[in-house]
Amino acid sequence: MAQGTALRAACPGLDPWFGPCLELFENGCGNGLCDVGFHGIAPHGRARTHAAGIAGSVSQQGEATREIARSVAQAAQGTRHATGPFLAAPLPTRPAGDVELTRLIAFLVHPTKAFLAQRLGVRVPTSEDALADALRSELDPLEKWDIGERMLTARLAGVDLADFRRAELRRGTLPPGPIGLRLLDGLADEVEVLAAAVLPLHDGLARQMDVNLDLGGGRLLTGTVNGLHGRPHPGTLVRATYSRLGPKHRITAWVQLLAAAAPSALTTGRGSFKGAATSTLTLPQDPAAVLRDLVALHDDGLTEPLPIVTGASHAYAARHAAGDTEQEATAAAAKEWDSMFGDGKDAHVQYVHGASFAAMAGDRRFGELASRLWDPLLAAES
């Protein structure tokens, strides 16, 4: 009996969480010589009750099997390992098929999270998963952002803010009494700044465009791009977010711009001192070629966790493109990694790459991949 099959038979209660992880196990251990190991990924809560018994259940399958099982069992109990690489060797490349636009964007925005979700089918629980059981006198930043994002969306859609306030109060998500009203007032001031910057760019109702782009080799990029305004077709891509404008918003607009072949994309978010910040991207000469390279990067990133992250990789590429030395660009990346909301604080990045920037910076591919991802965008941005 194949070892992966034995594990599945021994622990049927782990499916569907454990099933995707068997791809790691079976590819590395199918010949009895396990050369693919992983730190362990925290499963959904209902898998925790089954995972603790894995190690004992499969002891007859040999030491390699027990080691894999022990990793999964420890992961289920919350134990994290940061010694050695996440994989001993890349996973086999999957057969080339069509690519969904949303999955491509999700990978480029957060490569590590996408590898776990799209290749292994698992997720790492974060602190945001815990729900508050009692009323509080204030909201945490994520909850505040969520209300601000909804308010901005409603404002750009023509909803009166008084109507939005009444609806939000009925939702029951705000602190009680005057505290909740003051919070809405503060959010409304910030949203009005963003709306004032974005609404002049709206030319009639926003349109959407279906994408069915030939990538070559019989592959297609498929999906939908929303937020197109003006004429001629396809118009200008206009996006707005209550978030501080950052790399993830710009890379999202970049891929959508390339997919729609729109002449330009304008993305607005919060900037410094409660003002608005806008990124303007211009379509490159050969958008299909840029897209094909991003798809190739996505393909590579589903065989192993690549040394590329959103913030630090952008910081490196921006400084390098500006003419800074390798040392200066790497120092900028390290500073971003260690910042309050930097990549080093991200649960997915910590789980796969560890909390220290040193290992990632020591991979010679870090700078190459950062420039490969960001240089075309930076050259097209103003």
69 domain-assigned: yes
pLDDT exceeding 70 applies to what percent of the chain?
75
356 domain-assigned: yes
Question: Predicted confidence band at 38 (pLDDT cuts at 50, 70, 90)?
Answer: very low
Better-scored residue on pLDDT, 105 or 22: 105
Cα 95 vs. chain centroid, distance in angstroms? 23
250 domain-assigned: no
Q: Are residues 9 and 84 in the same domain?
A: yes
75 domain-assigned: yes
How many domains, in total, are found in the chain? 3
CATH number at 197 reads 1.10.10.990
Domain ranges, residue 319:
307-380
44 domain-assigned: yes
Written as one letter, the residue type at 256 is Q
Domain boundary residue among 149, 183, 201? 201
239 domain-assigned: no
Domain boundary residue among 201, 226, 249? 201
**Mean pLDDT over the full length of the chain:** 80
Given this model, what pLDDT does residue 301 score?
97
379 has pLDDT over 50? yes
At 222, phi and psi to the nearest 5?
A: -125, 150
d(CA 302, CA 120): 9
**pLDDT one-digit tens code per residue, 102-129:** 999 999 999 999 999 999 988 787 655 5
Given this model, what pLDDT does residue 138 score?
67
49 has pLDDT over 60? no
30 domain-assigned: yes
Three-state helix/strand/coil letters over 153-179: HHHHCCCCHHHHHHHHHHHCCCCCCHH
CA angle 316–317–320, rounded 5-degree value: 85
pTM of the model: 0.75
d(CA 340, CA 15): 37
Domain boundary residue among 55, 70, 89? 89
332 domain-assigned: yes
